[in-house]
Amino acid sequence: MTSVYQKLLKCKESVDNLMKKAGIGDFRPLVAVVLGSGLGDFADGISICGEIDYADIDGFPVSTVPGHDGRLILGHVGGVAVVCMKGRVHLYEGYDITDVVLPIRLMGLMGAEYLILTNASGGIGADLKAGDLMLITDHIACFVANPLTGANIDELGTRFPDMSTVYRPELNDIIRDMAAKLTIRLPEGIYVQAGGPSFESPAEIRMFKQAGASAVGMSTAIEAIAANHMGMKICGISCVCNLAAGLSPTPLTHDEVQEAANEAAPRFKQLLMEVIKEIGKQG
Ligand code: HPA
């Protein structure tokens, strides 16, 4: 057994104990959700049955970014059991990449079959504007490390996982249908993960554009790789918070990102709630 897997099992045991203590030892999520920068409001729509501070989980990485608090929220959306990460850790915080994806793996081990990834991003595609929600149809992750580097965790998945359809077409269809019903504009595109924490240079953005990317951010793709490795069914929605470097006349700020995420939050919450209910019907 690898040491990464041992650490994961320890976290799982810790969560199991905390859930038992809270009287929800038999809670089993169907859907896992990761909330990106400023999108934490969504958690208000959950009928909560338990909350666990990351700091209380043995060995769990704790985020240091303003706007990201660190809690696992357990509860129901329209009767569908969800586990929600309110706050994630990023590579640029200095964590080992296996720690960055540990919470995703943990939610998989808790029983979640579906994973909805969300994030804040900079828009690269000409059709995108600040405040848009973008359906992630694929990603580019080769500019950052791979979370599966090191001994393979055979207990979770295969050494060389296929990556042809990480963002599941059937889930994308649900998201498209729900966005149309709610009259929410939903452009689509490829998300590229950059390392951060500095925003990208205009030259990097031009390169990403040539590579086919529509939006850039500092998370998500490595989480999708880890979740895909363990067979989770994944989809992703990005909140385009600013135009990427060189595409806007003003310098980028973290405050601007949070403001745009706040503005998009009600639309995002509506969409996510309906998507989860629909997954519940089909899952
Ligand atoms: N670049 C990277 N990450 C981001 C951006 C950006 O422009 N906006 C929000 N997150």
- Calpha distance 147→227 (Å, rounded): 10
Question: Distance, CA 119 to ligand 1 centroid (Å)?
Answer: 9
Question: Distance, CA 59 to ligand 1 centroid (Å)?
Answer: 28
Question: Distance, CA 198 to ligand 1 centroid (Å)?
Answer: 9
Annotated catalytic residue, options 93, 200, 223, 278: 93
Question: Distance, CA 218 to ligand 1 centroid (Å)?
Answer: 7
Annotated catalytic residue, options 90, 179, 232, 264: 90
C-alpha triplet 161, 164, 170: angle, nearest 5°: 115
Task: Print the domain residue range for 253.
Answer: 3-282
pLDDT of residue 166: 98
How many domains would you assign to the chain?
A: 1
The secondary structure element, H or E, covering residue 265 is: helix 254-282
- For residue 239, what are the β-bridge partners? 120, 133
Is pTM beyond 0.85? Reply is yes
Which residue owns the Cα nearest ligand 1 atom 3?
217
Number of other CB atoms surrounding residue 129 within 10 Å: 14
- Calpha distance 177→161 (Å, rounded): 29
CATH of the domain at 34: 3.40.50.1580
One DSSP character per residue, 8-56 reads: HHHHHHHHHHHHHHTT-TT---SEEEEE-TT-GGGGGGSEEEEEEEGGG
- Calpha distance 110→30 (Å, rounded): 9
CA distances from 183 to 15, 32, 42, 234, 275 (A): 39, 25, 19, 23, 14
Question: How would you write the pLDDT of the chain (283 residues) with one tens digit per residue?
Answer: 889 999 999 999 999 999 999 999 999 999 999 998 778 789 888 999 999 999 999 988 876 666 557 999 999 999 999 999 998 999 999 999 999 999 999 999 999 999 999 999 999 999 999 999 999 999 999 999 999 999 999 999 999 999 999 999 999 999 999 999 999 999 999 999 999 999 999 999 999 999 999 999 999 999 999 999 999 999 999 999 999 999 988 888 888 888 888 899 999 999 999 999 999 998 7
Q: Which atom of ligand 1 is nearest to the CA of 217?
A: 3
Catalytic status, residue 139: no
Q: Which atom of ligand 1 is nearest to the CA of 244?
A: 7
- For residue 73, what are the β-bridge partners? 51, 84
The secondary structure element, H or E, covering residue 110 is: none
